Amino acid sequence: MDSAGQDINLNSPNKGLLSDSMTDVPVDTAVAAQTPAVEGLTEAEEEELRAELAKVEEEIVTLRQVLAAKERHCAELKRKLGLSALEGLKQNLSRSWHDVQVSNAYVKTSEKLGEWNEKVTQSDLYKKTQETLSQAGQKTSAALSTVGSAISRKLGDMSSSSIRHSISMPAMRNSATFKSFEDRVGNIKFPQ
């Protein structure tokens, strides 16, 4: 059987490939329109099919135009209502999340997690851990409060004592601590 008379199988892995016997031949559209598309069709049947094809293609074009007009109208209505693509996305996400929350899998999982949570919070280990952490938090809070009070007291002592006292000033400036502090901060002068 020659390749021109073979049926084309669109499910074949070789679809779209030309066989060795086929070559590229320019097609004259006027001649192609005169030759029957499928053997066994009369000229009248072929003409009827071509007319129907033209009509369907015209309807497709019309439907595309109508769809484009409807999409423009929809976009205009959304613009007038203040709805944006982001608003639509938020609504879709909200609806999807609601659908998830009412799904059987989500409800069953939530129930199971609730049961596990109840079991864990009622266990002795959980209660002991909670007490230990609570005590540690109280002790940490007390320690921080004590440190804060000590710092406040030291700062209060420093502000009440006269730093500009003539005797302590030279001694303080010559101390290693002050020199180290002065090196790190630099020479800062405050306007008086």
How many beta carbons lie within 10 A of that of residue 57, not counting itself?
Answer: 10
Q: What is the pLDDT of residues 74-125, one digit of tens each?
A: 989 988 888 777 777 888 899 899 999 899 998 999 999 999 999 888 889 9
3-state DSSP assignment of residue 7: coil
Supply the pLDDT for residue 189.
57
Which two tokens mark 116?
A: 């596990």
Kindly give, in sequence order, each residue whose CB lies less than 8 Å from that of residue 88, ignoring residues fewer than 6 positions away.
78
Report the distance separating Cα 54 and Cα 189, nearest Å. 92
Q: What is the pLDDT of residues 60-80, one digit of tens each?
A: 999 999 999 999 999 899 888
